[in-house]
Structure 1
Amino acid sequence: MNEIVMKTPQNIEELRNDLNRIHGKNYILAGGTDFVIKMNKSNIYNGTIIDLTGIHELNYIIKEDNFVKIGANTKIADISENNIVKKYASCVAEAASMVGSVQIRNCATMAGNVANASQAADCIPALVCLGAKVKIMNGKGTFKEENVEEVVLGINKNSLKNNEVIVEILIPIRDNTYKSAFYKIGSRSSVTISKLNMAVNVKIRQVIEEVSVIIGSLGEKAFRSTICEEALINKKINQELFVNFKEKLKHQVDLSIPNRSSKVYKREAILGIADEIIKKLF
């Protein structure tokens, strides 16, 4: 007999107990914006749904222990407008501000964005770019931390076990020699799924001393473009640098989707993204 069981924990202890009692498939619901679509497409008629929305202690954004810490129940709209995030993780705030529509941002969570592991997710490239981690709790109440890029395995695939849930996102705080930026291109200016997105983080003094370039919607998961990073590292800021960087981006598209019909479009689209990110960073 098909049956869906709904659990609505009101605090961390109740969540732990619900995770510990799971037998069979479970689904963690935070904002639910992705899950409703998944239910319809995958014909989900049985399993346990654990709804996190009643756990108010997971709704926070704080600066602590040299991290920006974001609770798993914090809405993407709140993240996009938060001054702590804007100051210490600007590319994350920018990515959050571009997620879907106002209605989606008011419901969706960043932890859910990571766990859903869409190849077109906006928040994942920004988080990976800054070396973010997630704090994970299991049904025994044990906690561990993993890098976001290790949790996201592929299209709608994550590394979480059946009795595990993301409870917090941790973004390292760096000094003011670092700058980050995010931009995306989609089919519409709002309510859009990314056709291509990118996050860049740089440390600049006399030259670019450190760099991270993360591209999304160009494969099964957001990935680090080492050829683009090599084009920027230890270089002085000038027009020649920007031209070379954009050429490497086009080459990255060729390498990533050599036989896809979208290659021609994405070779041009990534140049537009590069222009916007260059304006923000330099």
Structure 2
Amino acid sequence: MFENDIEWIFPEKIEKVYESLKKEGSRIHSGGLTLNRLRPSNVKTLIDLQKTGLDFLSIEQGIIQIGPYLSVGEFIERSKDLKKDGNILVFLADVFSNAGSTSIRNRMTIGGSVVGAPSWSDIIPPLVAVDAKIEIFSGEKKQIDILELINNKPQKPFVVTKITVKDQDLNWFYRRLTNVRFDYPYMNFCAVRSNEKVKCVLRGSEERIKIFDIEEYKNEKITFRDDMYFSADYKRHLLDIYIKETKENLGC
């Protein structure tokens, strides 16, 4: 794939990852699924995160802490064994299990999905729905909301060091529009109910990400585009069905 000579490094400290990332032609390698989208001539150094210890998953004082290097497949397996008060981990594992095939989930990392935030991601909607926070390092650590990272990604180099979510109980509903089971979704819809409110997260419309309360839903305010498989009208009709099913399943 890469014809030019590439330096492959394995730093152990976040500071070293960051300093290496500032050099021209440096790219982070986590699961490796996005490497085929890079122009080989522009890549001089690959920074492998496997020695950084960023593949953790824990719950501390009611806060779920997810390492960005943790693969989606490993997250699903480890989440089964953690003692938890709420069911957020069950929810995330349930939705994450829709992402690709088993082999893809075993390579896809949580951090790579958050930083790349592709429109077809099954990882982004549930994390947005539960107001995930992202800790980044760019000389110093700071925490930002996941929406801020998606909509206003920092221009200077940064390293995601942690994803955190408050552990709690909720009910959820998730649907994805695909051709086959492990295909990328052309639209995905996630709704979570905590207390009396139902928060909906939609991807696949003309907006990068659409968030709304189910009681404020108005179909005509959401616009879609035709694609090679599904028309805008079909997606709009399907969203109406998703909303109806959400109300039935979550008792709205």
Name the TM-score, length of structure 1 as normaliser.
0.75
Question: What are the superposed Cα offsets for residues 111-132 of structure 1, whole Å, 9 maximum, x if unpaired?
Answer: 1111112111111111011010
* Matching residue of 2:193: 202
* Matching residue of 1:180: 172
Q: Secondary structure at the match of 1:103?
A: helix
Task: Decide which of 193, 201, 226 is 2:184's aligned counterpart.
Answer: 193
Task: Decide which of 159, 162, 173 is 2:153's aligned counterpart.
Answer: 159
CA distance in 1, matches of 2:133, 2:150: 11
Change (3 A) 1:171 1:52: same
Shift of 1:169: 0.8
CA distance in 1, matches of 2:108, 2:242: 25
Question: What are the superposed Cα offsets for residues 26-76 of structure 1, whole Å, 9 maximum, x if unpaired?
Answer: 32221111x13312xxx2312332121333x21121111321111111110
* Matching residue of 1:7: 9
Question: What are the superposed Cα offsets for residues 136-195 of structure 1, whole Å, 9 maximum, x if unpaired?
Answer: 112x3x211111111012xxxx61444311111101123x3x3233221212112x1111
Q: Secondary structure at the match of 2:41?
A: coil
CA distance in 1, matches of 2:92, 2:206: 21
Code of the residue aligned with 1:269 in structure 2: it is L
* Matching residue of 2:92: 92
Q: Secondary structure at the match of 1:159?
A: coil
Tell whether the 8 Å contact from 2:133 to 2:164 is kept in structure 1 after alignment. Answer: yes
Tell whether the 8 Å contact from 2:132 to 2:163 is kept in structure 1 after alignment. Answer: yes
Q: Secondary structure at the match of 2:238?
A: helix
Code of the residue aligned with 1:164 in structure 2: it is F
* Matching residue of 2:123: 123
Question: What are the superposed Cα offsets for residues 227-270 of structure 1, whole Å, 9 maximum, x if unpaired?
Answer: x3425xxxxxxxxxxxxxxxx3x434xx322x646211202332
Task: Decide which of 63, 81, 84 is 1:67's aligned counterpart.
Answer: 63
Shift of 1:272: 4.7
Q: Secondary structure at the match of 1:256?
A: coil
Give aligned pairs, total: 239
Change (3 A) 1:269 1:26: farther
Change (3 A) 1:117 1:264: same
Q: Secondary structure at the match of 2:190?
A: strand
Alignment of 1:281 with 2:250, yes or no, is: yes
Task: Decide which of 48, 67, 75 is 1:79's aligned counterpart.
Answer: 75
Shift of 1:278: 4.8
Code of the residue aligned with 1:194 in structure 2: it is P
Alignment of 1:230 with 2:216, yes or no, is: yes
Change (3 A) 1:102 1:271: farther
Code of the residue aligned with 2:147 in structure 1: it is E
CA distance in 2, matches of 1:29, 1:61: 20
Please identify which structure carries the higher helix content: 1
Shift of 1:104: 0.4
CA distance in 2, matches of 1:220, 1:32: 28
Query: Structure 2 matches for 1:5-84, cutoff 5 A?
Result: 5-9=7-11, 11=12, 13=13, 15-21=14-20, 22-33=22-33, 35-39=34-38, 43-47=39-43, 48-55=45-52, 57-81=53-77, 82-83=79-80, 84=82
Change (3 A) 1:60 1:37: same
RMSD: 2.5
* Matching residue of 1:215: 202
Shift of 1:277: 4.3
Task: Decide which of 256, 263, 271 is 2:223's aligned counterpart.
Answer: 256
Unaligned 5+ segments in structure 1 are 232-247
